[in-house]
């Protein structure tokens, strides 16, 4: 192509802006991680590397309980939301045209449209009534709440995968004596799997680092990792908090990386 097109990457200063943005995003995180390994009690003075804070965190029963809660909530909410999102994606892309299909998108994207704090307060008010009526105080409320806002995140990669899938494959399966269910099990589902995994991991991460909804919905005494950290912060900024933050960060990054890897290789 001889004709020169406008290309933003050729504008002056693009590289500089990119580098500054990158540093602004990652330097604070890097400092936090470094502090988590710092032998000194006070941040900012490096006294050699240690795993002491990690050991202290793992020894801390309150942290362990919060981590376990987070894991339970994230796993269950991600699983539930992925199942629902898969069903929704199948209905939208495969089913006959349903009346008011636009409405489905409004429902699915509710968590993106309604401010999180508004949703959290609304849910808190309703669930408070339910808690009083049933007497149940468990993690179920947090799980249900997390499931709702995880659905759109699980939905997007699944739907993308489904709409990119060649419909002829399902036709071919039906042509080769497969029932609808057999076709779903042997053709649609295996081909959809990378999308489902990506959706699941995305939902898992979204649930894992949620603060606002968790802190308003949880019953007294219940903590997830982020709400536990918030509580600890109010009292004292210790190196143990850095270590816990670093752990949360590693968990999040590895899951996102894994999901990226899965979608890349299983195309």
Partner 1 sequence: MLDIRSLSKKFGAGNSAFHALKSIDITIEEGEFFTLLGPSGCGKTTLLRMIAGFEQPSGGQLVLDGKDIAMIPPNNRPVNTVFQSYALFPHMTVAQNVAFGLEARGATPSEVAGRVDEMLEIVQMSHLRDRKSSQMSGGQQQRVALARALAPRPRILLLDEPLSALDLKLRKQMQVELKRLQREMGLTFIFVTHDQDEALTMSDRIAVMEGGTLQQVSDPRALYDHPANRFVAEFIGDANFLAGVIADAKLGMAGQPPVPLPRNEAANGPVTVMIRPEQVVVGPLAKDAITLNGRIETLVFSGNDTQASVRLQNGETLRLRAQNNLHAETTLTEGQRLQVSLPLDALRLLPQEAADAA
Residues within the interface to partner 1 (CB under 8 A)? 166, 168-169, 171-179, 182, 186-187, 190-191
Cβ 178 to partner 1, closest distance in Å?
4
Cβ 188 to partner 1, closest distance in Å?
11
Query: Which residue, 86 or 173, is less far from partner 1 as judged by CB?
Result: 173
Cβ 84 to partner 1, closest distance in Å?
24
Phi-psi region of 223 (alpha: psi -120 to 50; beta: other; left: phi over 0): beta
On whether the CB atoms of residues 225 and 67 are closer than 8 A, the answer is: yes
CA atoms of 39 and 239, how far apart (whole Å):
9
Query: Which residue, 64 or 185, is less far from partner 1 as judged by CB?
Result: 185
Cβ 175 to partner 1, closest distance in Å?
5
Query: Which residue, 163 or 254, is less far from partner 1 as judged by CB?
Result: 163
Cβ 194 to partner 1, closest distance in Å?
10
Nearest partner of 252 among 229, 231, 225, 232, judged by Cα? 225
Query: Which residue, 3 or 175, is less far from partner 1 as judged by CB?
Result: 175
Query: Which residue, 89 or 187, is less far from partner 1 as judged by CB?
Result: 187
Residue 209: exposure state from Cβ atoms within 10 A (0-12, 13-18, ≥19): middle
In angstroms, the Cα distances linking 239 to 22, 57, 62, 82, 134 are 25, 10, 16, 36, 41
């Amino acid at each position: 192509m001889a004709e020169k097109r406008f290309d933003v990457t050729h504008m002056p200063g693009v590289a500089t802006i990119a580098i500054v943005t990158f540093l602004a995003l990652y330097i604070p995180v890097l400092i936090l991680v470094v502090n988590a390994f710092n032998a000194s009690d006070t941040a900012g003075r490096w006294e050699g590397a240690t795993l002491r804070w990690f050991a202290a965190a793992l020894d801390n029963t309150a942290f362990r309980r919060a981590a376990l809660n987070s894991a339970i909530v994230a796993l269950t909410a991600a699983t539930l939301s992925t199942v629902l999102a898969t069903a929704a994606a199948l209905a939208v892309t495969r089913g006959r045209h349903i009346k008011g299909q636009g409405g489905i998108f409004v429902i699915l994207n509710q968590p993106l449209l309604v401010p999180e704090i508004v949703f959290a307060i609304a849910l808190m008010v309703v669930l408070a009534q339910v808690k009083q009526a049933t007497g149940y105080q468990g993690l179920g409320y947090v799980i249900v709440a997390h499931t709702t806002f995880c659905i759109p995140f699980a939905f997007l990669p699944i739907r993308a995968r489904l709409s990119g899938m060649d419909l002829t494959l399902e036709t071919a399966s039906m042509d080769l004596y497969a029932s609808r269910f057999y076709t779903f099990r042997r053709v649609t589902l295996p081909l959809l799997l990378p999308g489902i995994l990506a959706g699941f991991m995305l939902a898992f991460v979204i649930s894992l680092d949620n603060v606002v909804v968790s802190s308003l919905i949880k019953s007294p005494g219940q903590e997830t990792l982020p709400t536990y950290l918030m509580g600890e912060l109010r009292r004292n900024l210790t190196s143990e908090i850095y270590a816990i933050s670093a752990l949360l960060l590693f968990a999040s990054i590895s899951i996102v990386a894994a999901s990226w890897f899965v979608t890349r290789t299983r195309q």
